[in-house]
Structure 1
C-alpha cells in the first residue's frame, strides 16, 4: 500500500531521491548496476502514470459526480489507462509478476499511440534468468511505498529526482554513461551560451536522455519566459535511451515535444511535411565521438544535401558528419548551435581539413571553447564547444573567438566538474569577447580570418593562445593523433593479413 498522504506530501527532495535510489538498489546482485536504468525507469514511469490517473480521476468525480462520462474523463487524463492496467493490478500479483508487468506496459503503450511509442523500452520482463521474480517484487514493493502524483510530489521534484537517478546510473555505468548522459554543468554552460528564447524551436539530433532539451526549458523559465512556447525535437538511435528521453520530458511536466528513435544520418525523421529537413533556432548536442561506420556510403548523394562544403567525412570518423548535420539544420534568421567535440576536429587534415576550411570561410563558426579535461564519463581526452551562428554580430564577422577555459574546474574523484562560478566566468568571456590573458584562469582571443588562413585553417588552440593551458591541451591533442595513428596502423595490418592469407601465405 502507498504511504499516507501526509507522509508522502512532506517528502523532501533528498528523501525522495534516497527512496528512489533505494528502489534501484533492490536490483543489486542479480542485475548489473549499469543496467538499473532499463528496469527502474519503466517501473517509475508506470507508477507515475497510475498515480496521476487516480489523482485526476478524483478531481473529475468531484467536478462532475454522476454526470462524469468517459469522454469527460479523457479531458482530465494526459494518458489513457486501459482496464486491468493499473499499478494495483500488477502489484497484487504473486506469481509470474514479470509477465503481467510486461503485458500491462505494452497495453498502456498501445492505448497511447503517438505519445508513448517505445517509452517502456524493450526489457523482457518475463525472463526470470535476467530478472529474478524476487528482485522484481522488491523493486515494485519499493515504488509502492511512494505516491507519485501532483498532490504528493510538489512542483519539479519528480523531474529533479529523475535527473538525480540519471546521474547515479551514469556513475554506475562508467564509460557507457556517455550513451545517455552529458554532465549537467556542461549542458548548463552550452545552453546558457545559446540563450534560448520563448518561441524558439530547439533540437538535439543525438538527444540521449534529453538533458539538453530539459535544460533549454529550465533556462527559458529561469529568465521569466514561457517555456510552453518552445518547440522541442530530438532523435536518438538507441531504443532504451530514446525511451528515457521521453520519460524525462514527461516527468518534467512537458507534453508538447517530438522525440523519435532512429539513425540521424541514415534515417532522419525530423522532417517537414514536404519531406525536407526541419530547421531550428537552437541546436545543442553532445554526439558520440569518432563514430565509425556512420553511413558515409550514402552521404555523397544525400537527398537532404547535408554534406556541407561538398566533402564526405572519413568513413571511420563521423565527427564532421555531425557538424555537417547540425549546420545544415540551423534556421536562416536566428539559427545558432553548440556542439561538444573532441579537439581532433580542430586540426585533423584530409577530408576534415577541407570541411573545416569551408566552415571557417562560411563565417558561421563563431567560437571555440576549450573545456577542462575529464569532465565526461565516456572520455578523458580534451574536448571543446564549437559555437555556430547563422548570422554573427557585426563585431565578430570574419573572426573566430578562441577561449581557453581548461583551468576552470574543480577536481573530482572520478570526473572533474565546473562550478556555477566557472560557468559564469566562461559565459562572460564568450559574451563579452574581451581579450584576457590568464585572468581568472581563462584566456581568450578574437582571431581574424586572415590569421586563420595563414595557419592553413588549423584551429588548434595552441596556435592562437599561448600559455600553460594551451600546452596541456596540445599534449592531449598529440595523444589523440597517436591513438588515431595506432588505429590506422592496426587497420592496415588487418588488410595486409587478409591479402597475405588470400595469396596462400602464412601470417
Structure 2
C-alpha cells in the first residue's frame, strides 16, 4: 500500500510533539531532523542489505571480506558501521539496533556514538552531518523522552525507495521545516525562507541543466532545492545542477545537508563558516569561486567587522552597522562573468541609505550590474515584519540589450494573502511578478502590454534618471501609484522611507562640512 504524504507528516509530527515536555518548539529541529535522517539511512541500508542477501542466498563460498566487498560495490551507497566493535556491546549503528535498547540506561550515548560512527565511516558524504548532537546528553534530553520520540518516529513507514518516493520524503522534511518555523517565531528566520519567496527568486533567475547554483547563506538549503525542483517541473533534470552552499551555524548546515539528501540531490557541497570573513569556495589563486546562479536571503542589517583589504569591496566597504551591501558585493564577485546572475532578499534600507552604502550603490548602477528591484509586501518573513525587496543582478555586460543602462522596478507590495502568522505570496502573484519581470517597455519605461503584468505597478527607469535622484532606488520615486482612499501601512512606510532618505542626505552634507573643518568621528 502506497504511503501518503499526509500519513508520514502526521507520524513525524507525533514524534516531534513528544519533545514538548523537555524543550521549546524552537529547538525541536535539532533533535527531530538528525533522528529522521538516521532512520532514513538505516531503513535504506537494511532494504538494500535484504536485496543483497536475497540475490546471494547463503553466500556460499564467500568469505566475510568478499561478501562485504560485493555488498558495498553493488548494493550500498554508504556504510552503517558497528559501535563498540569487538566487545560484548557490539551492535550495528542502525536505527533498529539502537531502538531495541531504549529501556537501557545510556540511550543518548548510544545514539551519539551511532551518529558519530556513521559520519566517520562516510567522511565524503556525511562529515559533520548531524551537528553538535548536544541533545543526546541526558541532562538536555532525558532517556524516557528520547525513547518516546524514537518509538513514535518508528511508527513512521519505512523510509526507503521501495516504500516511498523521494518526493514524499522530501515533502515531509519540508513540512517539518515549515511547521517548526511557524512555531519558532523570529528564530525561524535563521534557517527558513518562506517557500513562495524562494520560488519567486528561482523563477526569475531560471537555472538551466548542468549549471552551478550557490547560496552564500544557505540556511536549510531551501533555495538550492527549489532550483532543482523548478528545473524538474519544467521537464529538465534537476539532479544535474551543481549545488553549493555556505552556512555559519554548524547545526543548520547539517539540516541543509540532510534536506538535500532527502530530496535525492547528491551533487552538492555545503560548507560551514562566515561567508564574509571566510568564504569557503575559492579558486586556486585564492579568489572566490564563481557560479552561474546565486541566491540568498542573508541576515538583515547584520553588524560585522568590515573588510580592510578585500577584492570583493567593489565601490567601497559597507559600514560596520550593516553588512547588507557586503553580502551583495560577495555575490557580485561570485558571479560567472559570462552568464552569472544573482537574486537577493534585503530590507528596503539598501535602496536609499547614505554614506558608504550610497557609494557602493552608485558603483553598482554605474557598472550596470543591477537589473531589477522587486518590492515585496510587509510581514512575509518569520523573523521580521518589515517590507523587503528582491534585488536582481547580472554579470557585467550580460544584460539583455533592452535592459542595459537602467533598472526595472516592480511594486508587488500590495500582492499578498493573509495567513495565520504572516502574509503570503500566492501562486497567482508569483506568476504575475515573473510576467512583469519579462515585460517589454516603451520609450517612457512603461510596459507595452499593461495587462500582461497582472495589474502590478511596473516601470523601467534609465540610469540617467536614477542618477538625478542621487542614485536613490526607492521604488516610490519611479512608480507613481494612483491615489487611494486612505493611507495603508505600505503607503506610510514608503513615505517614511522617502523622508528618511532626505534626512540622511542632509546628514551626509553636514558630516562632509564637519570633515572639511577637521571634525570627524560622527559617522561611526
TM-score by length of 2: 0.86
CA distance in 1, matches of 2:365, 2:490: 21
CA contact (8 A) 2:30 2:135 kept: no
Relative distance call for 1:479 and 1:448 in structure 2 (3 A) is closer
Task: Name structure 2 gaps, 5 residues minimum.
Answer: 83-91, 504-524
| Aligned position for 1:15 | 7
TM-fit CA distance, 1:472: 5.1
Give SS of 2:458's match: strand
Would the aligned equivalents of 2:166 and 2:264 in 1 still touch at CA under 8 Å? no
Question: Which of 457, 475, 484 is equivalent to 2:492?
Answer: 475
1:454 corresponds to 2:459:
no
Q: State the shift of 1:203 in Å.
A: 0.1
**Secondary structure at 2:128's aligned position in 1?**
coil
Structure 2 counterpart of 1:406, from 413, 416, 430: 413
* Residue in structure 2 matching 1:419, options 408, 426, 435: 426
Name the counterpart of 1:73.
71
Deviations 1:429-473 (A, max 9, x none): 001244357974410100001100110100001111112699854
Distance, in Å, in 2 between the alignment partners of 1:270 and 1:69 is 39
Any idea what the Cα deviations from partners look like across 1:308-344, whole Å, max 9, x if unmatched?
A: 12x1100111000001000111001100000001000
Q: State the match for 1:29 in structure 2.
A: 21
Indicate how the Cα distance of structure 1 residues 199 and 460 shifts in structure 2: closer, same or farther if over 3 A, else same. same
Does the 8 A contact of 2:411 with 2:457 survive in 1?
A: yes
Say whether residues 1:377 and 2:377 are aligned partners: no
Q: CA deviation at 1:267?
A: 1.0
Which of 235, 240, 243 is matched with 1:229 structurally?
Answer: 240
Q: Which residue of structure 2 aligns with residue 429 of structure 1?
A: 436
Contact 1:102 1:124 in 2 (8 A): no
Distance 1:62 1:221 in 2: 34
User: CA separation of 1:457/1:372 partners in 2, compared to 1, >3 Å: closer, same or farther?
Assistant: same
User: How far does residue 29 in structure 1 lie from its aligned partner after superposition?
Assistant: 1.9
Alignment partners' CA distance in 1, 2:491 and 2:127:
46
Cα distance in 2 for partners of 1:92, 1:250 equals 26
Query: Which secondary structure state, in structure 2, belongs to the residue aligned with residue 308 of structure 1?
Result: coil
8 Å CA contact 2:211–2:293 kept in 1: the answer is yes
1:290 Cα shift?
0.3
* Residue 86 of structure 1: how far off its partner (Å): 1.4
The counterpart of 1:107, out of the listed 94, 114, 117, is 117
8 Å contact kept, 2:195–2:222: yes
Higher alpha-carbon deviation: 58-67 or 39-48: 58-67
Answer whether contact 1:382 1:477 (CA < 8 A) is retained. no
Query: 1:181: which partner in 2?
Result: 192
Deviations 1:408-432 (A, max 9, x none): 1111221111111111101000012
Shift of 1:162: 0.2
TM-fit CA distance, 1:126: 4.1
Alpha-carbon separation, structure 2, partners of 1:455 and 1:274: 40
Partner residue of 2:53 out of 41, 44, 61:
61
Mean CA deviation greater in 93-102 or 185-194: 93-102
Partners in 1 of 2:499 and 2:146 — Cα distance?
A: 47
> What is the distance in 2 between the residues matched to 1:220 and 1:33?
34
The farther-off stretch of 57-66 and 79-88 is: 57-66
Distance 2:461 2:389 in 1: 17
The whole-number CA distance in structure 1 between the counterparts of 2:392 and 2:128 is: 33
Aligned-residue CA RMSD in angstroms? 2.1
Mean Cα displacement is larger for which, 87-96 or 335-344?
A: 87-96
User: Per-residue deviation at 1:346?
Assistant: 0.2
SS in 1 for 2:438: helix
Q: Does 1:317 align with 2:322?
A: yes
Aligned to 2:86: none
State which drifts further: 243-252 or 96-105. Answer: 96-105
- Counterpart of 1:88 in structure 2 is 96
Match of 2:250?
Answer: 239
Alignment partner for residue 347 of structure 1, among 344, 347, 352? Answer: 352
Cα distance in 1, alignment partners of residues 305 and 374 from structure 2: 28
